[in-house]
């Protein structure tokens, strides 16, 4: 017997319709590439998104066509989020931090038809244009007066001119909620990048989950500033979740340095933000140096790589900002877990609570999760046993775009490539990426713990721990450190810093001081590059 409720499909356009009707006057504030601050409302966003949709339809865009963007977080990018997906076309967010040849490869693989880009990326577009095989139109997110000039981009058009003449009247079409809505490539360290193709259904369900109190806790009382870029996993779903709950959106454009962010946090009374640890390093340095405080910021989501415990403490103790340590992946839309305490933790000491918060958190409903050994046998949730982390759920990938890499699933579960423990309360802790784990004498050493301890040293700006060949133990950990400017720091002092904090045999065998650690296009440390750099390194213990 079927239920007798309406079968309204879960479509992205319904988020916008809701925001227009019920939060029409709520603001969206953007720092533009033009340098000024732009303000308008959800009502304006809805109107201009319909203009985008009508312009695309008039230009011959059909359902399923891929429309690419190379853009910062800003209102025009947001209009494309809704205008493109709303008509059943696929919004393909390209990552401008990749090399132009890589971007061209991805655009060709996706068979993108149009490219919308911020004028700051004109040089990237010039470099990729000769390699692009399927792109037909090149549209800069600017009015005609501000088009990049001189430029080598052939056929350059203005976004404002493109949508300017279009009607803002449109009934958003209804279609199957399983229809593809957006596409984001993930660049694995080996092999070609692979596309993750989200659906309307997965996106809307993910937004519901992201907004929950024990997830990102979003509401119409919030002003949300996603530092996490809209070109990487849809800015963790915030451009969809904010209109769902009627939160004010503050979009920082290209200004991701500590000063620019801090000014926007204060002037727009931002209450919640989200980003990777490297971004927060810059912000914390800025506020610490200027002895500043946050007057409205209450929470920040930190994920993408492990939040160093020292950062979590600084935010909470010095600035009264709650850290929501979150874990996820491009393949998971991306939210998987968030580290919010339970009622039973209320009576614990602050130190004991921190120990729980350092973990990556609990699964939000919709994400099913387990750890298994190398034979695929499920391991106990005792907070000690660690194994390969598997996930499944309605916003977890089933197959990569065009079947790249074959069937990724194991018995219906997606292997994340992360190694983790899960405790009796459901808190998951990543100990490593499976490819980064250090295998010493047949035993695993997790590099994240070792990095967190190093990061807690006041003289350390950044730290990575990698495996280096060892004749007896096969692999041993090497600590690679970037010192804070002007700080003297010796190998002996760094190694002493580990005493009493970990099992002795986990202590790195040596310390290498470097000027920089290579970061990837999404702000993560490129450990494969570091391993390559240190592949002939001779440990003193070897
Ligand atoms: P991406 O698909 O580029 O977002 O990368 C996903 C990967 O980032 C995960 O599989 C983890 O290895 C890593 N990651 C994400 N969040 C965290 C976190 N909070 N702690 C540790 N690693 C994380």
Closest CA to 383 of 426, 427, 423, 429: 423
- For residue 447 and ligand 1, the question of a CB distance below 6 A is answered with no
192 pLDDT higher than 90: no
- For residue 523 and ligand 1, the question of a CB distance below 6 A is answered with no
Please give the pLDDT value at position 190: 59
**What spacing in Å lies between the alpha carbon of 433 and ligand 1's midpoint?**
8
For 194, half-sphere exposure in the C-beta direction (CA atoms, 13 angstrom radius) is: 19
Per-residue pLDDT band for 117 (boundaries 50, 70, 90) equals very high
Q: Is the peptide bond before 138 cis (omega within 30 degrees of 0)?
A: no
Closest CA to 28 of 16, 37, 19, 41: 41
Question: Is 331 a residue of the active site?
Answer: yes
Lowest-confidence pick of 37-46, 182-191, 524-533: 182-191
121 pLDDT higher than 80: yes
Distance CA 147, CA 151 (A): 9
Map tokens 């002037």 to a residue: 267
Range 119-133 average pLDDT: 97
What residue owns the CA closest to ligand 1's atom 5? 329
The sign one gets for the Cα dihedral 171, 174, 177, 180 is negative
Ligand 1 binding pocket mutation candidate from 215, 304, 323, 435 (most atoms within 8 A of CB): 304
In percent, the amount of the chain with pLDDT more than 90 equals 88
281 pLDDT higher than 90: no
Please give the pLDDT value at position 189: 53
Range 507-528 average pLDDT: 91
> Using one digit for the tens of pLDDT, what is the confidence trace for 199-220?
999 999 999 999 999 999 999 9
Task: Please identify which of the residues 402, 439, 501, 535 carries the catalytic annotation.
Answer: 439
Distance CA 52, CA 155 (A): 19
> Using one digit for the tens of pLDDT, what is the confidence trace for 363-418?
999 999 999 998 999 999 999 999 999 999 999 999 999 999 999 999 999 999 99
Range 74-96 average pLDDT: 98
pLDDT, the chain, mean: 95
- For residue 330 and ligand 1, the question of a CB distance below 6 A is answered with yes
Please give the pLDDT value at position 497: 95
Check residues 267 and 431 and name the one with the higher pLDDT.
267
Task: Please identify which of the residues 331, 337, 451, 475 carries the catalytic annotation.
Answer: 331
Please give the pLDDT value at position 471: 86
> Using one digit for the tens of pLDDT, what is the confidence trace for 311-327?
999 999 999 999 999 99
The model's pTM? 0.91
3-state secondary structure 125-189: HHHHHHHCCCCCEEEECCCHHHCCCCCCCCCEEEHHHHHHCCCCCCCCCCCCCCCEEEEEEECCC
Check residues 426 and 99 and name the one with the higher pLDDT.
426
Please give the pLDDT value at position 257: 93
Q: Which atom of ligand 1 is nearest to the CA of 330?
A: 2
Please give the pLDDT value at position 427: 98
Please give the pLDDT value at position 259: 96
Please give the pLDDT value at position 296: 98
Map tokens 């709303």 to a residue: 86
**What spacing in Å lies between the alpha carbon of 330 and ligand 1's midpoint?**
9
499 pLDDT higher than 80: yes
Distance CA 139, CA 531 (A): 40
């Amino acid at each position: 017997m079927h239920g007798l409720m309406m079968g309204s499909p879960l479509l992205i356009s319904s988020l916008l319709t809701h925001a227009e009707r019920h939060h029409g006057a709520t603001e969206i504030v953007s720092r533009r590439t033009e340098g000024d601050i732009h303000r308008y409302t959800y009502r304006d966003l809805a109107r201009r998104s319909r203009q985008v949709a009508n312009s695309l339809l008039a230009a011959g865009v059909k359902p399923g066509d891929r429309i690419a963007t190379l853009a910062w977080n800003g209102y025009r990018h947001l209009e494309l989020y809704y205008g493109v997906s709303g008509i059943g076309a696929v919004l393909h967010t390209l990552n401008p931090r990749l090399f132009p040849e890589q971007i061209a490869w991805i655009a060709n693989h996706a068979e993108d038809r149009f490219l919308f880009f911020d004028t700051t990326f004109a040089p990237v577009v010039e470099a990729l244009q000769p390699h692009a095989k399927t792109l037909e139109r090149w549209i800069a997110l600017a009015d005609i007066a501000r088009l990049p000039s001189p430029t080598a981009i052939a056929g350059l058009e203005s976004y404002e001119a493109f949508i300017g003449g279009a009607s803002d009247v449109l009934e958003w079409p209804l279609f199957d909620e399983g229809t593809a809505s957006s596409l984001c490539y993930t660049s694995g360290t080996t092999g070609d990048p692979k596309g993750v193709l989200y659906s309307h259904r997965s996106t809307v369900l993910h937004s519901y989950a992201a907004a929950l109190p024990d997830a990102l806790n979003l509401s119409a009382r919030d002003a949300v500033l996603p530092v996490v870029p809209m070109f990487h996993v849809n800015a963790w779903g915030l451009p969809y979740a904010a209109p769902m709950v009627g939160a004010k959106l503050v979009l920082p454009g290209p200004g991701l340095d500590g000063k620019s962010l801090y000014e926007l946090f204060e002037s727009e009374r931002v209450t919640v933000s989200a980003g990777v640890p490297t971004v927060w390093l810059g912000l914390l340095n800025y506020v610490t140096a200027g002895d500043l405080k946050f007057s409205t910021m209450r929470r920040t989501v930190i994920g993408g790589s492990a939040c160093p415990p020292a950062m979590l403490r600084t935010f909470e103790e010095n600035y009264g900002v709650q850290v929501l340590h979150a874990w996820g992946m491009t393949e998971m839309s991306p939210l998987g877990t968030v580290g919010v305490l339970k009622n039973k933790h209320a009576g614990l000491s602050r130190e004991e609570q921190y120990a729980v918060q350092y973990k990556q958190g609990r699964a939000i409903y919709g994400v099913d999760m387990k750890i298994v050994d190398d034979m695929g046998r499920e391991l106990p949730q005792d907070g000690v046993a660690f194994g390969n982390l598997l996930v499944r759920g309605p916003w977890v990938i089933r197959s990569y775009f065009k079947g790249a890499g074959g069937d990724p699933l194991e018995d219906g579960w997606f292997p994340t490539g992360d190694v983790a423990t899960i405790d009796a309360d459901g808190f998951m802790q990543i100990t490593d990426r499976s490819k980064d784990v250090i295998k010493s004498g047949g035993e695993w050493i997790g590099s994240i713990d070792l990095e967190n301890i190093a990061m807690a040293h006041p003289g350390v700006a950044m730290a990575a721990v990698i495996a280096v060949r060892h004749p007896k133990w096969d692999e041993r950990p090497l600590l690679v450190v970037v010192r804070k400017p002007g700080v003297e720091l010796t190998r002996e002092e760094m190694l002493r810093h580990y005493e009493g904090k970990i099992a002795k045999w986990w202590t790195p065998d040596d310390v290498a001081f470097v000027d920089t650690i290579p970061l990837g296009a999404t702000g993560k440390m490129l450990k494969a590059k570091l391993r390559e750099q240190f592949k002939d390194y001779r440990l003193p213990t070897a």
